[in-house]
Amino acid sequence: MEVGKFLTKTLAVVLTVIIVVQSAPSKIQKVKKACGSKPAEIFFLLDSSSSIYILDFEIQLEFVNNVIDAFDIGPNATRIGVASYSNKYYPNFGLNTYDNKKDIKNAVSKISHKLGGTYTYEALDGVRKNGLNEENTRPGVTRILIVLTDGESYDEEETKKAALKVKEEGIVVFAVGIGNQIDRHELESIASEPKEKYLFEVGKFGLLDSVKEKLAIKACEVEDAPAGPACGQNNPADIMFLVDPVAVGEAHTQVIYEYISDLLPEFNFNKNHIKVGLESQNCGAGTLNLRHYPDYTEIEKSLRHIEISGLPRMLKKLRTHSYKPEHGGRDHARHMAVLFVDDKLFDPKSVLDQARRSKLYDVELFVVAIGDTVVDDELFTLCSSSVDRHLIRVPSYADLKASKPEFLEKLCHGL
């Protein structure tokens, strides 16, 4: 009798478990539901450098196959390409090579481990030119690159430049950092915006499996990236450059103009994402007309009220003129201004007062400080908070061009 009761209870528990398991959709089913049959061009870029043990490299391959399981594969659905990199870019197979999931996963499993350094920038260039380029992809279909790496590249600046070019092509980039040797700063430069959506980090290769569903769902949710440079793709901005030729001199003004010209191709002007203006003249200020003065005291009085420095007037003009709709400004855009300073301020009280007022009108002030005669306290008050994100220090005019990556990283943050 007791045995019968025990068997009855056991059978009930087993049936309950079976019902629960059958009724609860698996994680991969949830991912497939989220993805649907939406077509995409997805390229995996795998780190094959010497810092990765062979067993970890195989875990990386297994992770790729697990992510691939989430997608409908076919010529009219999602297509997959894979490349690896160490000292150079190794194209394993392209988007057109296989048209079914079984062949793709079999090819992934056979990718060999190529030892060498971490030349991430060469790999990014390889994908941009030969993997997800227009000739190999379908018009109007979202292009996605998933980069996996376990450490910092051999040249961080070149990697930033290469990643920027990839994103300028309209390719959405996911960055997956693995282990404790990754460079978070570099990963952020690789990933698309917003970083919280496109950047993943795991403590070791064995934990890659913990992010496969989330990564697959995020990839499914990707919409076509806007074409053009990355700076300005996400949020519009009205950017004013302020140059005082009287303060910096004619020769240095020309250097600054060339620097600004070099920056312009990095801004996304499509559909007015970014609008740029320049204020460099202090028209009428510092002028005494040949009108009649009753005596020299009137001339002395006028001379005392002349504003020799153009910066106070230009800063005032930011809030009273530059961003007004009748002058091309937009209420919904971020109002940003860039000042170039190469010495202590001639009239710091007036300059800093106008800077403070401009900031109260939601003008975000960036300062490019050139040389070693600038005054730190003035700079800290002049630029917006936080100082680290709004101040760019340059040793000399000869070094101005080399500051471009740092400048763009700070100015374009969140744009």
Is the CB of residue 210 less than 8 Å from the CB of residue 181? no
pLDDT tens track, the chain, 415 positions:
454 554 454 444 444 434 433 444 455 555 556 566 678 899 999 999 888 899 999 999 999 999 998 888 999 899 999 999 999 999 999 999 999 999 999 999 999 998 888 899 999 999 999 999 888 998 888 899 999 988 778 888 899 899 988 988 889 999 998 888 788 888 898 998 888 889 998 888 888 878 888 888 888 777 665 566 778 877 889 999 988 888 888 899 889 999 988 888 888 877 778 888 888 765 544 444 544 445 555 656 655 655 444 888 889 888 888 898 888 889 899 999 999 999 998 889 999 999 999 999 999 999 999 999 999 999 999 999 999 999 999 999 999 999 999 999 999 988 8
Residue 40 to residues 81, 102, 172, 277, 338, Cα–Cα distance (Å): 11, 18, 11, 38, 40
The answer to whether 72 and 40 have CB atoms below 8 angstroms apart is no
Which pLDDT score is estimated for 411?
Answer: 93
CB proximity list for 120: less than 8 A, separation 6 or greater? 85, 147, 149, 153, 154, 159, 162, 190
How many Cβ atoms sit within 10 Å of the Cβ of residue 308? 12
**Contact, 186 vs 154, CB < 8 A?**
no
CA distances from 229 to 87, 90, 171, 267, 336 (A): 28, 27, 11, 6, 18
pLDDT the model gives residue 327: 84
Q: Report yes or no: 242 and 340 within 8 Å, Cβ to Cβ.
A: yes
DSSP run (H or E) holding 79: strand 78-85
Distances in Å between the Cα of 133 and the Cα atoms of 4, 100, 101, 270, 315 are: 69, 22, 22, 21, 44
CA distance 119 to 76: 33
Query: For 191-345, where are the alpha helices, taking DSSP H only?
Result: 195-198, 212-221, 245-248, 250-263, 296-304, 311-317
Q: Give me the CATH code for the 27-221 domain, please.
A: 3.40.50.410
Distance CA 43, CA 146 (A): 6
Residue in the block written with tokens 């934990």: 207
Q: Is domain 237-411 annotated with CATH 3.40.50.410?
A: yes
Which amino acid is residue 415, in one-letter code? L
Using CA atoms, how far residue 202 sits from 121, 145, 205, in Å, is 22, 18, 7
| 200 membership: H or E segment, kind and range | strand 199-202
Instruction: Look at the pTM and tell me if it is higher than 0.75.
Output: no
- Residue ranges of domains in the chain: 27-221, 237-411
Residue found by looking up tokens 């079984």 in the block? 102
Closest among 238, 251, 316, 310 to 281, alpha carbons compared: 310
Tell me what pLDDT residue 228 has: 66
Task: Check the CA dihedral 310-312-318-321 and report its sign.
Answer: negative
pLDDT for 29 equals 59
Longest dimension (CA), the chain: 126
pLDDT, residue 286, reads 45
Tokens, residue 332: 């919904």
User: Which residues, other chains included, contact 329 with Cβ-Cβ below 8 Å and sequence gap of 6+?
Assistant: 238, 322, 323, 335
204/113 Cα distance (integer angstroms): 18
The tokens 């990236």 sit on which residue?
Answer: 225
